[in-house]
Amino acid sequence: MAQQSNFELRRKLLQLEALYDVGRALNTLRPEGELTEELMHRAIAVLDAMVGFVFSLDEKLNVQQIFTFGVEIPAPANAILAEPPIKQVLASREPMSVTVSKFLGGAGSDLILAPMISGETIIGIIGVGGKEERGAKSGSFVEDDLRFLVSLAAIGGAAIDNARNFYKLSVLRETLEDENRNLKQRMLRDYNDRLMIGDSPKMQRVIDLVARVADSQASVLIRGESGTGKEMVARLIHGNSPRKDGPFVAINCAALPETLLESELFGIERGVATGVDARPGKFELAKGGTIFLDEVGDIPLALQAKLLRVLQEREVEKLGGRRRIPIDVRILAATHRDLEQMIEKTEFRQDLYYRLKVVEIVLPPLRDRKEDIPKLVRFFLDKYGKREGLTDVRITQEALQKLMRYPFPGNVRELENLIEGSLALTTDPVIDPGDLALPESASGAGGVEMLTDFPSLDELERRYVTRVLTYTKGNMSKAAKILGVDRKTLYRMREAMSQLAPTVDSWDVH
C-alpha cells in the first residue's frame, strides 16, 4: 500500500515536471509542425502510451499539421476527422476517455483525448492510446492521466495560437513595410515627375537610403560608374528634402580649369581684375538649398584645401575679397572615381573625404542588376515614344534578350540613349533586334569568336570605344552619342585608353 502511494506520488511529480518543461519549451516560438511534434513526444513519454496522435486545425476546421506515433498518418489528413471519438470531441469540445476503440484501423485499445482550445476556437486535438503496463499499475489510463493530457492540450493550444498570431503579425508587418516602400517610391517619383526605376534588391536598398537621407541635413557622397544615375539621386535627395523650395545648384568640378572652378565655387569680389565683374559663387547661389559637387574627385589638391575650409567654417571668402560670407547649403557630392585609392596616392585629401562622406550611396552598375532592364526599357519606350508621337510602342522578346546580354558600360544612360535612338530609327512601333544599334558581339552572331575570346569588361569597353571612334572618324560628339555617354566621359575613357593604346592619341577631336 505504502509502495503504491509512493509510486503515485512519483508519477504526479513526473507529470508536473513534464508540464513545466513543456510550458517552457513551447513558449519559444516555433513552426507549428515542431510544436505538434513536441506535444506528441511529451504525451507519449509521460503517459506510457503506445500510440498517439496530435493535429491542429485551421479556421475552416481542416487539418493543418498532423503528427502520429505508432499509427499511420491517414491520407488525406482530414480523414482523421471522421473517426468517431474525434467527431465527438470536436462537437463537445470536452476531453474524453474511450475503452477499447479501434482507432485508425489499429488494434483496439484504450484511448484518451483532449481538445486544444484557445479562446473560442478549437485549434486541434491530442490523444494517446494503449497504456503500457508499468510498475504496479495495470494497463489502463487513470483520471490523472486524462488531467495531464488536458493540461498539455491547453498549453499546446496556447502555444500554437501564439505562433499563428506572431506569423500573422509578421505578415502584416511585411505588408506595411512594402506599403511604406511604395509610398517612399511614389514620393520619389513625384519630384519633377521623374521616377527612379529599380525593383532589384540592390536598387531597392538605394531607394530606401535616398528616402531616408533626404530628410536630414547630412552631406551625402554619391558614387557609381558613369551613367548609373548619380545626378538623378542628387536631385531626388534635394527634391524630397526640407530645402526643396530652395535652389538646387550643380557644378561639374571636372569641366573647368582650376582658377575658373575656384571663382565659380566661391565667387569674385569687384575689382579683383580689370574687366571682371563681381560675381556670386555657387555656394552663395545655393543659399537655402543644395549644392551638388559633381565629379568631386576631379578637384585639384589646392582647391580641395579651400573647399575643406569652407565646409568646416561654413563661410566663403570670395576671390579678391576680405569679407566672409556665411553659407547655408546642404552639400551633395558625386564621383565615379576610386577616392580611397586617390587618398593613398595623395591625390585626394582624407579629411575632405570624411567631410563629404557622412552618408554614402553607391549606385550599382546596370550589369549587376539586369533584372531592372525590362522595366527601364518600358519606361524609356513610353517616354521617347510619346515624344516621337508613337503610341503603344512595344519591344520584341528577341530585342529584349539582346539587351539583357549586353554589359552596358555606359549604364542607364547608354540604355536610355539606345532606346531613344531605336525609336528614331524604327518605322513601326515595334522594336526588334535590328533597331538596336549594339556592337555585333552582343547580338550573339559572332558565336565562334565568343567561345574562345573572353576579354575583360575593361578590354571590351576599350575595343568597343575604339571601334566607335574609328567609325565616327574620331568625331567625339558622334561617338559619345552612339556610346550613350557624355563627351566628358568619352574624353575620360579615351584618356584612360591612351595609356594602353598610344594610337588612340592620333584621333582628331571635333
Ligand X SMILES: Nc1ncnc2c1ncn2[C@@H]1O[C@H](COP(=O)(O)OP(=O)(O)OP(=O)(O)O)[C@@H](O)[C@H]1O
Q: Which residues bind Mg ion (CB under 5 A)?
A: 230-231
Answer with the entry of ligand X, Mg ion, none that 232 interacts with (C-beta below 5 to 8 A by kind): ligand X
Shortest distance (Å) from residue 427 CB to Mg ion: 33
| DSSP code, position 137 | B
Shortest distance (Å) from residue 489 CB to ligand X: 5
Shortest distance (Å) from residue 21 CB to ligand X: 55
Integer Cα distance of 464 and 460 in angstroms: 6
Pick between residue 129 and residue 484 the one whose CB is nearest to ligand X. Answer: 484
What letters, b where the CB count within 10 A reaches 16 and e where it falls short, cover 7-24?
eeeebeeebeebbeebbe
By CB atoms closer than 10 A (0-12, 13-18, 19+), residue 329 is buried
Answer with the entry of Mg ion, ligand X, none that 196 interacts with (C-beta below 5 to 8 A by kind): ligand X
Residue with smallest beta-carbon separation from ligand X: 229
Long-range own/partner contacts, residues 468-471 (CB < 8 A, 24 or more apart)? 469/494, 469/504, 469/507
With cell 531605336, the residue in question is 422
Shortest distance (Å) from residue 335 CB to Mg ion: 9
414: nearest Cα among 508, 501, 335, 489: 489
Answer with the entry of ligand X, Mg ion, none that 227 interacts with (C-beta below 5 to 8 A by kind): ligand X
Q: How many CB atoms lie within 10 A of CB 152?
A: 26
Shortest distance (Å) from residue 245 CB to ligand X: 22
Pick between residue 158 and residue 251 the one whose CB is nearest to Mg ion. Answer: 251
Integer Cα distance of 192 and 140 in angstroms: 79
Pick between residue 36 and residue 252 the one whose CB is nearest to Mg ion. Answer: 252
325: nearest Cα among 276, 275, 352, 286: 286
Q: How many CB atoms lie within 10 A of CB 479?
A: 24
Q: Are 489 and 479 in contact (CB under 8 A)?
A: no
Pick between residue 101 and residue 228 the one whose CB is nearest to ligand X. Answer: 228
Tell me how far the alpha carbon of residue 316 is from its chain's centroid: 40
Pick between residue 109 and residue 489 the one whose CB is nearest to ligand X. Answer: 489
Pick between residue 223 and residue 282 the one whose CB is nearest to ligand X. Answer: 223
Answer with the entry of Mg ion, ligand X, none that 268 interacts with (C-beta below 5 to 8 A by kind): none
Amino acid sitting at position 319: L
Q: Are 248 and 233 in contact (CB under 8 A)?
A: no
Shortest distance (Å) from residue 193 CB to ligand X: 12
Pick between residue 188 and residue 485 the one whose CB is nearest to Mg ion. Answer: 485
Q: Which grid cell sits at 384?
A: 521617347
Q: Are 444 and 405 in contact (CB under 8 A)?
A: yes
Shortest distance (Å) from residue 371 CB to ligand X: 13
Pick between residue 232 and residue 403 the one whose CB is nearest to Mg ion. Answer: 232
Answer with the entry of Mg ion, ligand X, none that 239 interacts with (C-beta below 5 to 8 A by kind): none
Pick between residue 231 and residue 315 the one whose CB is nearest to Mg ion. Answer: 231
To the nearest 5 percent, what fractions of the chain are helix, strand and coil?
Answer: 55, 15, 30
Integer Cα distance of 400 and 370 in angstroms: 11
Residue with smallest beta-carbon separation from Mg ion: 231
Answer with the entry of Mg ion, ligand X, none that 364 interacts with (C-beta below 5 to 8 A by kind): none
Shortest distance (Å) from residue 230 CB to Mg ion: 5
Shortest distance (Å) from residue 432 CB to ligand X: 23
Answer with the entry of Mg ion, ligand X, none that 489 interacts with (C-beta below 5 to 8 A by kind): ligand X
- Using CB under 6 A, list all residues that contact ligand X: 196-198, 224, 226-232, 336, 412-413, 416, 486, 489
Shortest distance (Å) from residue 226 CB to ligand X: 4
By CB atoms closer than 10 A (0-12, 13-18, 19+), residue 296 is buried
The three-state (H, E, C) secondary structure of 186-252, written as one string: HHHHHHHHCCCCCCCHHHHHHHHHHHHHHCCCCCEEEECCCCCCHHHHHHHHHHCCCCCCCCEEEEE
Answer with the entry of Mg ion, ligand X, none that 74 interacts with (C-beta below 5 to 8 A by kind): none
Pick between residue 207 and residue 316 the one whose CB is nearest to ligand X. Answer: 207
Answer with the entry of ligand X, Mg ion, none that 206 interacts with (C-beta below 5 to 8 A by kind): none
Pick between residue 440 and residue 495 the one whose CB is nearest to Mg ion. Answer: 495
| DSSP code, position 358 | S
Q: Which grid cell sits at 73?
A: 498518418
Shortest distance (Å) from residue 354 CB to Mg ion: 23
Q: Which grid cell sits at 162?
A: 501564439
Pick between residue 163 and residue 254 the one whose CB is nearest to Mg ion. Answer: 254
Shortest distance (Å) from residue 387 CB to Mg ion: 22
Answer with the entry of Mg ion, ligand X, none that 198 interacts with (C-beta below 5 to 8 A by kind): ligand X
